[in-house]
Copies of this chain bind each other. A is one copy, B any other.
Amino acid sequence: MSHTLGIRQAQKQKTRQAFLDAALALLEEQSLSSLGLREVTRAVGVAPTAFYRHFRSTADLGVALVDEALGSLHPMVRTTVSTTGDPEERITRAVELIARHVTEYPAHVRFIARERHGGVQPVREAIRAQLHRFAEEVRAELAKDEEAEGWSEDDLLMLAHLYVDQMLITASLFLEALEAPEDERERVTRLATRQLRLITLGRSHWLD
């Protein structure tokens, strides 16, 4: 099924990826709404006009970055939530997974945290849509758990959003602690673990 791309298409995709990489790097120290088209092309090493062969505008590039940063994350979220084992172990694994992801893709995480409430509407929309997908997937996984018996769909979605938001908050904290000494990251781990523990505790008494 995998159709080998021609030299032409392959080169185009390569350049496109170079745009995404360069933009992501530049966005570590500014917001998308201040990212200039020429700034990006300069970083890639191509003429300004080449930009238009790939994107309509920087907002368009931003939407593509959202897909790159969040699109491939869905399997990970699903498996994390559905992991079997006692709750405490699940929480530990979830926090570890977030920490590792932040370490591996700090620029992606920073971009999402920054542009979630950023100044570019189509990008905000794209992030909102992806996060909603996450919440729906988490809800679906939660529904499978025996603890979900007696829960309404609406309440499950409410809890799912709580988990998703908590995931983002934690990721952002790890991001801030990235260059800090080891014990700061340890502190964040402990904080996030206890917060998840408290939420899970509330969950298990929801039907009282």
Q: Which residues of B contact A110 (CB under 8 A)?
A: 117
**Cβ contact within 8 Å between B191 and A117:** no
Q: Does A186 contact B (CB under 8 A)?
A: no
Q: Which residue in chain B gives the minimum CB-CB distance to A27?
A: B119
Task: Pick from A34, A161, A195, A203 the residue with the most CB of B within 10 Å.
Answer: A34
- Given A33-B34, A119-B114 in contact, is the A165-B161 Cβ separation under 8 Å? no
Task: Pick from A33, A113, A117 the residue with the most CB of B within 10 Å.
Answer: A117
**Cβ contact within 8 Å between A195 and B34:** no
| Cα distance, A24 to B31, chains bound together (Å) | 17
**Cβ contact within 8 Å between A198 and B191:** no
| Cα distance, A172 to B33, chains bound together (Å) | 20
| Cα distance, A155 to B206, chains bound together (Å) | 21
Q: Which residue in chain B gives the minimum CB-CB distance to A34?
A: B34
| Cα distance, A139 to B159, chains bound together (Å) | 24
**Cβ contact within 8 Å between A119 and B206:** no
| Cα distance, A31 to B32, chains bound together (Å) | 8
| Cα distance, A189 to B206, chains bound together (Å) | 18
Chain A residues engaging chain B, CB cutoff 8 angstroms:
27, 29-34, 110, 113-114, 116-119, 155, 158-159, 161-162, 165, 169, 172, 191, 194-195, 198-206, 208
Q: List 29 A-B contacts (CB under 8 A).
A: A29-B119, A30-B34, A31-B31, A31-B33, A31-B118, A34-B34, A34-B119, A110-B117, A113-B117, A114-B117, A114-B118, A114-B119, A116-B117, A117-B172, A118-B118, A158-B194, A158-B195, A158-B198, A159-B198, A162-B195, A198-B203, A200-B202, A201-B201, A201-B202, A201-B208, A202-B202, A202-B205, A204-B205, A205-B205
